[in-house]
């Protein structure tokens, strides 16, 4: 595969980014290839970090459900870097390795085995939002019956945000 289409910023080489770099490293443990590319735009990386931190760490969704969405979006959008980045999070959230591998293989959402109650409906939402954008009423109705308004917003925001992440990664060839 070819290299990133945008030169990554080498941490510590641009003094004006020092505070941002410190904050990212403190929150994430390192400055990943994704964030090295994002550092080309301080305004974008600040907004990105705020939104993705809220989605990953401050919503009411169970971590396993969040990671299920992220892995599905990564598979649908052919973003292996994103998928691999979230494998440790999915495992830590209690996702069985067999389910993780099933998601990696990318079968139709109705064919994924090992899902907990409510997860098939979330996969259907993820598929609809990622592939078609429009979510049919028959896909949304089971979610409405299971999740409250806060959770519905958080589910849709997670799918939307990780579509942004994976599409950014693929478009700029980050992590290749």
CB 3 within 8 A of CB 173: yes
What's the whole-number average pLDDT of the chain? 93
The CA distances from residue 107 to 18, 73, 78, in Å, are 43, 13, 13
Rounded CA separation 176/81 (Å) = 8
Give a yes or no: residue 99 inside a domain.
Answer: yes
Whether residue 127 is found in the same domain as residue 144: yes
Query: 43 and 145 in contact (C-beta within 8 Å)?
Result: no
Predicted confidence (pLDDT) per residue in 67-85, tens digit: 999 999 999 999 999 999 9
Q: Is the pLDDT of residue 2 over 80?
A: no
Could you give the number of structural domains in the chain? 2
58 pLDDT higher than 80: yes
Within this chain, do residues 36 and 104 fall inside the same structural domain, yes or no? no
- Note the helical H segments in 58-108: 63-76, 80-92, 97-105
pTM of the predicted protein model: 0.93
Instruction: Write down the pLDDT at residue 8.
Output: 95
Same domain, 132 and 157: yes
Q: Kindly provide the residue ranges of all beta strands, DSSP E only, lying in the chain, ordered along the sequence.
A: none
Question: Could you report the per-residue pLDDT of 90-101, keeping only the tens digit for each?
Answer: 999 999 999 999
- Give 129's contacts (C-beta < 8 A, 6+ positions apart): 135, 156, 159, 160, 163
Q: Give the largest Cα separation in the chain, rounded.
A: 52
> Quick check: is 50 in a domain?
yes
pLDDT score recorded for residue 112:
83
Kindly state whether residue 7 falls inside one of the protein's structural domains.
no
Residue 4 lies in a domain: no
Question: Do 35 and 117 reside in the same domain of the chain?
Answer: no
Q: Same domain, yes or no, for 153 and 67?
A: yes
Residues 35 and 73 in one domain: no
Residue 104, CB-side half-sphere exposure with 13 Å CA sphere:
16
The reply to whether 67 and 41 lie within a common domain is no
pLDDT at 21 over 90: yes
User: Range of 45's domain?
Assistant: 15-57
- Establish if 138 belongs to a structural domain: yes
CA distance 157 to 5: 27
> Do 113 and 37 belong together in one domain?
no
> Is residue 63 scored above 50 in pLDDT?
yes
Q: Report the alpha-carbon distance of residue 154 to residue 156 in Å, rounded.
A: 6
Asked if residue 1 belongs to a domain, the reply is no
In contact, 136 and 146? CB cutoff 8 Å: no
């Amino acid at each position: 595969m070819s290299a990133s289409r945008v030169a990554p910023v080498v941490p510590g080489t641009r003094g004006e980014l020092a505070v941002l770099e410190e904050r990212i490293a403190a929150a994430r443990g390192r400055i990943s290839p994704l964030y090295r590319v994002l550092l080309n735009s301080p305004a974008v990386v600040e907004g990105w970090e705020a939104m993705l931190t809220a989605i990953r760490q401050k919503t009411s969704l169970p971590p396993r459900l969040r990671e299920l969405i992220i892995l599905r979006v990564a598979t649908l959008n052919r973003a292996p870097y994103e998928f691999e980045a979230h494998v440790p999070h999915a495992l830590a959230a209690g996702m069985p390795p067999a389910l993780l591998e099933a998601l990696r293989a990318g079968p139709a959402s109705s064919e994924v085995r090992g899902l907990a109650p409510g997860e098939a409906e979330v996969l259907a939402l993820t598929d609809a939002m990622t592939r078609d954008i429009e979510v049919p009423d028959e896909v949304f109705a089971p979610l409405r019956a299971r999740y409250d308004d806060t959770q519905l917003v958080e589910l849709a925001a997670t799918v939307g945000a990780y579509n942004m992440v994976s599409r950014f990664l693929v478009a700029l060839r980050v992590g290749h």
